[in-house]
Amino acid sequence: MNAALPGDHALAMAGVTAGDWLAIGVGTALGIIATVVAIAIGRWQRLTQLGDRVQDRAERRAEERRLARRESRQHQYHDTHEALRLGQQIEWQVRNRGPFTDRGLDDLGLTKFVMELEQLAVRGPDRLREPLNRLAAAAKDLRKAAVTSPAARASVRVPEDETVLTAPITHADFRLAIQQDRAVQEMATKLDAAWSALTEEWGS
């Protein structure tokens, strides 16, 4: 049995060519493709935004953990800060009032300084371990340059003490005095590096 189109439909389609049908098909296909692409782009954008949010949360949590660790180690910051301040005082005294004997360096606090640096390097943050160990090594080198002549002060001279020491200094002690000056300059460099590491770890 053949189905006949209503008259109006037959008249409407009478002028449609194969090219028209092709254009209609292409247009329909392009519309479907555009819809699919739009949906895919929308999903990709949502996934990207979701991934960004997850990354942001992870970064915030990491920062919160870092801050919590820093707060819990605040006493270590204080101890390190005080040790470096002692190192600065020793460096200034040796540079401006040296050379010092072994006893004079002890009076300045050099032994205590080295001991505190080594302890802080063991229990402190990883970032500070190497700078503190290098500073301790530089302080030990300063100790090796202690002079033996009484012409070197046996203790820190107070400002009102204007006594001039006239005891002769040996050639060996003269060389040690030069070595002590170089050693304290190296210690000053290591001090700067340790201060920088402390600032990077806890902030200014």
Please give the structure tokens belonging to residue 72.
């819990």
Give residues with Cβ within 8 angstroms of 186, minimum separation 6.
138, 141
Q: Alpha-carbon Rg of the chain, whole angstroms?
A: 40
CB atoms closer than 10 angstroms to residue 87 = 26
Tell me: pLDDT of 161 over 60: no
Would you place residue 195 in the very low, low, confident or very high pLDDT band (cuts 50, 70, 90)?
Answer: very high
Would you place residue 166 in the very low, low, confident or very high pLDDT band (cuts 50, 70, 90)?
Answer: very low
What integer pLDDT is reported at residue 154 of this predicted model?
Answer: 40
Cα Dmax for the chain:
137
Q: How confident is the prediction for the chain on average, in pLDDT?
A: 79
d(CA 169, CA 74): 47
Same domain, 136 and 150: yes
Mean pLDDT in residue range 89-108: 92
Total domains in the chain come to 2
Same domain, 97 and 147: yes
Which CA distances in Å does 112 have to 12, 115, 139, 172? 105, 5, 11, 27
Same domain, 84 and 130: yes
Highest mean pLDDT among 12-26, 31-45, 91-105, 169-183: 91-105
d(CA 120, CA 149): 34
- Determine the Cα angle at 108 with ends 145 and 195, to 5°: 85
Domain that holds residue 149: 74-156+168-202
Same domain, 113 and 190: yes
d(CA 70, CA 73): 5
Same domain, 129 and 78: yes
Same domain, 115 and 84: yes
What integer pLDDT is reported at residue 67 of this predicted model?
Answer: 72
Q: Are 195 and 84 in contact (CB under 8 A)?
A: yes
Same domain, 34 and 110: no
Mean pLDDT in residue range 28-54: 77
Same domain, 125 and 183: yes
What integer pLDDT is reported at residue 118 of this predicted model?
Answer: 96
Highest mean pLDDT among 70-74, 120-124, 149-153: 120-124
Is residue 6 assigned to a domain? no
Of the three residues 43, 72, 101, the one that is the final residue of a domain is: 72
Q: Are 195 and 98 in contact (CB under 8 A)?
A: no
Q: Are 107 and 155 in contact (CB under 8 A)?
A: yes
Tell me: pLDDT of 24 over 70: no
Please give the structure tokens belonging to residue 92.
């200034």
Tell me: pLDDT of 15 over 50: yes
Same domain, 105 and 190: yes
